[in-house]
Amino acid sequence: MTSFILLAALLVVAVAAILLPPLLRAPRSSGGADQREATLAIFRDQLAELERECANGSLAEADFEQAQSELQRRLLDDIQPPTSGQSDARPGRKTALALLVVLPLAAAGGYALLGNQAALDPLQRQARVTPQQIEGMVAGLVAKLRENPDDSKGWLMLARSYKVLERFPEAADAYSRAGALVDQNPELLADYAEVLSRAQGGDLQGKPTELVERALKIDPNEPQALLLAGAAASDRRQFALAADYWARLLAQVEPGSEEARALATAVERARELAAQTASGKPAGQTAVASGSAVSGEVTLSGGVAGQAAPDDVLFVFARPDEGPRMPLAATRARVGDLPLRFRFDDSMALPGGKKLSDFKTVSIEARIARAGKAQSSSGDLYGTLSGVKPGSQGLRLLIDQVQP
């Protein structure tokens, strides 16, 4: 918005700079005779040039006569004396001052009446692209890649599109087909690792960790790779290593920002756990985790069972009852795994995020994602338990509702 206003102001100033100087000059008193003499001199030069071109054969006789007639017509127009109603005086300073005031006011008023200020907001512009339009563009890209499967840039674009749509298995497959374009880029390797991890229900072990390590070999300070490397190390209970990765990332973020505070908390927590492990006292941490753990079983109601297939994706989340609805812990399975036993505790908290023990009550939600993504969509089957206190055991969560 600010850039647009500055650009508009510069354009108004430029127009004023072009229009005002001639208006501010004093009226010129030179007579019409001088102007006519200058016009005649120009006419004679142009006529002589035409005669030379006709003489040397570069201009045909017919073209010469036509050009000569055009010159004569223009000469007659230019040397006609001014009519009695015309004035030789130029517009004066009053006109210049009026334009100086009217131009900016007219521009601002015209935009206020006819312009669309919301169009200047990037978020508003982005909001015009609907999920259906994105799906259509993705379908078109898939069709092109069928015809040209060696298009690495196309596969990369498709991978990013699937990630936006939270279709992580398809995104991981597209990344795997992008070849050297991904293999030589640490940012893309880290993004591939994240997508593959989310396709595996958040598990960073195995190939996601391999991708992260390759990214850090190319660029030891790649931010996303450092974040994922720390999370993978924490999952392996290598807390000192996790703290090292996150501390290197913390040095790159803006001090005092929300991201910096979250990372600082994660680093401090990882170092505390590393110290406990080194001192041979992991039991205390286990007791804390167990004291806030919630566990139970997820089952599927017979009333909606016919709407789910065995390979449909099943997500189970723990969320806070109050405040932001970001998951505190999550697990992924298949409908074929039902009835499913689950257990969430503080050790499963996301890096830098809140823990179960930070809240008085939480909600446990189980969702069969028909589109295969964690975000809810129409047709999903779900069930929810609210008001669950950390430490609750033996919960019974029934999936019996359909998302409108």
Which residues have CB under 8 Å from 108's CB, separation 6+?
A: none
pLDDT band at 129 (very low <50, low <70, confident <90, very high): low
pLDDT for 127 equals: 46
Give the pLDDT confidence score for residue 297 in this predicted structure.
92
Q: Quote the CA–CA distance of 262 and 230 in Å, as a whole number.
A: 13
Which CA distances in Å does 273 have to 79, 230, 237, 279, 284? 97, 14, 9, 10, 10
| pLDDT for 88 beyond 50 | no
Of 17-26, 135-144, 159-168, 360-369, give the range with the top mean pLDDT.
360-369
Half-sphere exposure of 91 (CA within 13 A, CB side): 11
pLDDT digits (tens, 9 = 90+) for 11-47: 666 666 665 566 555 454 444 555 566 666 676 777 7
CA distance 309 to 399: 14
> In this model, does residue 75 exceed pLDDT 70?
no
Of the listed ranges 18-27, 143-152, 279-288, 295-304, the one predicted with least confidence: 279-288
Query: Quick one: angle between helices 207-218 and 186-199, nearest 10?
Result: 170
Cα separations (Å) of 39 from 53, 61, 87, 153?
21, 25, 20, 63
Segment 44-65, tens digit of pLDDT: 777 777 777 777 776 677 776 7
Of 134 and 79, which is predicted with more confidence?
A: 134
Q: What's the confidence (pLDDT) of residue 180? A: 83
pLDDT digits (tens, 9 = 90+) for 93-117: 566 555 556 556 666 666 655 555 5
Sheet harboring 294-300: ordered strands across? Answer: 340-344, 294-300, 395-399
The pLDDT value recorded for residue 145 is: 83
Question: pTM of the entire structure?
Answer: 0.44
Q: Alpha-carbon distance 209 to 203, whole Å?
A: 9
Average pLDDT over residues 155-167: 85
Average pLDDT taken over every residue of the chain = 77
pLDDT tens track for 216-275: 999 999 999 999 998 888 888 888 898 899 899 988 888 888 788 888 888 888 888 888
Taking the C-alpha atoms of residue 179 and residue 174, their distance in angstroms, rounded to an integer, is 10
User: CB neighbours of 365 closer than 8 A, spacing ≥ 6?
Assistant: 316, 317, 319, 382, 383, 384, 385
8 Å CB contact between 336 and 386:
no
What is the per-residue pLDDT for 12? 61
